[in-house]
Amino acid sequence: MTVTSSIPAASIALATTFVWRRRRAASMIVYAKGRGDNRKPLQKGRNLSIEAIQAIQALKRSYYYNNNNADNSHSFRHVIRSKFSRLLKLDMLAVLRELIRQNHCLLALQVFEDIQKEYWYKPQLSLYNDMIQVMASNGYLKEVEFLCTCLKTESNLLGETEGFSALMTTLINSNLPRLAMECYDFMKAIGYEPDRPTFRILINGLESLGESGASTILRQDAQRYYGESLDFLVEDEDEMIASNSSDGR
């Protein structure tokens, strides 16, 4: 005797399809999560858009391909116009920061010069610091000089005393005491008063580099601002702990 099912064949087929789709979706979700677990963000605070990624790839390809060929300059400018200049403001800045992150120093500098031509461009001290840091760490000292000179020509500079302190730390750590002193003079010239951390960074840094003359001048400045006692030049234990904790993050 044959027993026939009371469930229609169409319903069985529908249920089977539903179960298959759910299993397939679940496997896709797990797969995507697994690939992204150990992946670092391309650009801090904001993921790169598809257009920005494509622009980066096109810029690197045109810049490095046969770089000594005279025709390549025309090709690179074409990519700037067709791929980069059409991006949104945030994407253009994201491209620049990603090139900096990848240590494409000279390419980043050319991109930066194009960004300066944009109507919305406003100079940011933090961006200058990032560029100077990567240039110095890769040995592009002429480019560091160029950026420091360029910084002093900027108007409506977005920054604060802490930003100047960070830049001077970069210059001191890069063994560039003259540029650090020029940055200090520029900071005062545009109306920013040096605070105690600024003096501590510069005086201790200059003395560690054997620049006793410049250090003496700064000590005199510090006394005019904060009195005879320069005890703040010695970083206290709490600040050292806080600094070490932030470096280890």
pLDDT tens by residue, 107-117: 999 999 999 99
Q: Where are the domains of the chain?
A: 49-119, 122-233
Cβ neighbors of 228 (< 8 A, separation 6 or more) are: none
Q: Do domains 49-119 and 122-233 have the same CATH topology?
A: yes
Q: Cα–Cα distance between 152 and 150 in angstroms, integer?
A: 5
The model carries a pTM of 0.74
Nearest residue to 96 (alpha-carbon basis) of 167, 46, 138:
46
Give tens-digit pLDDT for 175-220.
999 999 999 999 999 999 999 899 999 999 999 999 999 999 999 9
CATH of the structural domain 49-119, one choice from 3.30.9.10, 3.40.50.150, 1.25.40.10, 1.10.1530.10: 1.25.40.10
63-105, pLDDT tens digit by residue?
987 565 655 666 888 899 999 999 999 999 999 999 999 999 9
**CATH, domain range 122-233:** 1.25.40.10
pLDDT of residue 189: 93
Return the pLDDT at 226: 85
Return the closest-CA partner of residue 49 out of 88, 10, 4, 100: 88
Note the maximum CA span of the chain: 110
